[in-house]
Amino acid sequence: MLSRVAERLYWSARYLERVENTARLVSVYDDLMFDLPKDVEVSWYNLIEILSGEEIFEQRYKVKDERNVVKFLLADDTNYNSMLSSLKMVRENIRTTRDVVPKETWELINELDLYAQQNIKQGINRSERHLFLNTIIEGCQKIIGLFAGAMSRDSGWQFLIMGRYLERADMGTRILDAAVSLMLQSEPEERIQLGQVTWSKVLKSQSAYLDYRRTVRASINGAKAATFLMSDPCFPRTLAYCFGQIGESATKLPRADLITTQIDKILKFNYPITSSEDLDEDFHNHLNEIQIAIIEINQQITENWFQFRQGDAA
């Protein structure tokens, strides 16, 4: 597989996952706003912080209200992380790797891109937002499903997997962190009530609510939900699962050692959470370390497979 093609596949998977995750995030926040007790103050602007978009947002908007936040996250073309920008990047990357993905991928991404562009107003206005975001998520899953059902498990596939799960791990960490900061910001007496709502939304944002119920068999609280989302080995959106997938894919490619060593280090690193009190500043720092590890893995992947050096490869 050409290094350039490998790189584009990796990024198309990352951007595709980013599209889906952005839609999930906005959708779950939308839902959260309906369910929170009136006296709890939660700002839409938290979303901008979760995604580290403060700088670009503030250059662009004065008012940090719902409309601007949602517009920035979904539609803004000056925000290269916005849903529409990410979709455009998926399309560009697929356009240049059409020869290695199933033929229908190109049609599906065009369909999704057209739908998103033509109906973006529905996403910005609250009344039809849910339907719009759901259609986007479904569109992403259609493409993932096509890959799963029609793509050879060759090198190209391994790059798609690594891209998808690295992006997912990144967003998963950010969402956990967001929930933790929300808790830490609130008054202690509100926490129990807020915790119930928040953590069930967090689980739902990862489609993990039912699986949590079946696996953990306990009521929802911060400690248990966070533990599940970090370390459950079977559910496909937990950090443990994501890193496991990256490691496994790497071993099917040449020169995997550098990546697998790093993955093994993360997977071994056990952060015990016994009660919700443990979701404190230290935990926040722990998540931060995972974020840094994610950035390093990305760099490692880039150096290992995308930057071809004629001398040492031969």
Partner 1 sequence: MEKLTSQYQSSIFFDELIDDKGAPRPPAKQLLGYLDSLSEDELEKRRLTAEATIQEMGISFTVYTEEGNIDRAWPFDIVPRTIEASDWKIAEAGLKQRLKALNLFINDLYHDQNVIKDGIIPEHIISKSKNFRPECVGISPAYGVWAHICGTDLVRDEHGDFYVLEDNLRVPSGVSYMLENRAITKRVLPELFENESILPVNSYTSQLFDTLAALSPRDIENPEIVVLTPGIYNSAYFEHAFLAQQMGAELVEGSDLFVDTDDCVYMKTIDGPERVDVIYRRIDDLFIDPEVFDSESVLGVAGLMRAWRSGNVALANAPGAGVADDKVVYAYVPDIIRYYLKEEPILKNVETFLCDDPKQRAYVLENLDKLVVKPANESGGYGMLVGPHSTKKEQALFAELITKNPRNYIAQPTLKLSTAPTLISKGVLEPRHLDLRPFILQAKDTYVTTGGLTRVAMKKGSLVVNSSQGGGSKDTWIVETKGQ
Residues near partner 1 (CB under 8 A) are: 1-6, 92, 95-96, 98-100, 103, 106-107, 110-111, 114, 155, 253-254, 305, 308, 310, 313-314
Least spacing, CB of residue 140 vs partner 1, in Å: 17
Query: Nearer to partner 1 by C-beta: 1 or 151?
Result: 1
Asked whether the beta carbons of 245 and 266 are under 8 A apart, the reply is no
Query: Nearer to partner 1 by C-beta: 28 or 100?
Result: 100
SS3 category, 79: coil
Query: Nearer to partner 1 by C-beta: 5 or 70?
Result: 5
Burial class (CB in 10 A: 0-12, 13-18, 19+), 64: middle
Name the DSSP class of 152.
Answer: -
CA 223, CA 105: separation in Å to the nearest integer?
Answer: 40
Query: Nearer to partner 1 by C-beta: 108 or 124?
Result: 108
Query: Nearer to partner 1 by C-beta: 16 or 239?
Result: 16
Least spacing, CB of residue 91 vs partner 1, in Å: 9
CA 212, CA 285: separation in Å to the nearest integer?
Answer: 25
Of the candidates 182, 184, 279, the one whose C-alpha atom is nearest the C-alpha of residue 225 is: 279
What sign for the dihedral angle of Cα 145, 151, 152, 156?
negative
Of the candidates 189, 143, 185, the one whose C-alpha atom is nearest the C-alpha of residue 164 is: 143
Any idea of the CA torsion for 115, 116, 119, 120, to the nearest 10 degrees?
-170
Least spacing, CB of residue 82 vs partner 1, in Å: 21
Asked whether the beta carbons of 301 and 3 are under 8 A apart, the reply is no
Give the angle subtended at the CA of 295 by the CAs of 202 and 68, to the nearest 5°: 50
CB count in 10 Å sphere of residue 277: 9
Query: Nearer to partner 1 by C-beta: 127 or 307?
Result: 307
Query: Nearer to partner 1 by C-beta: 197 or 253?
Result: 253
Least spacing, CB of residue 255 vs partner 1, in Å: 9
Least spacing, CB of residue 166 vs partner 1, in Å: 17
Least spacing, CB of residue 99 vs partner 1, in Å: 4
Least spacing, CB of residue 6 vs partner 1, in Å: 5
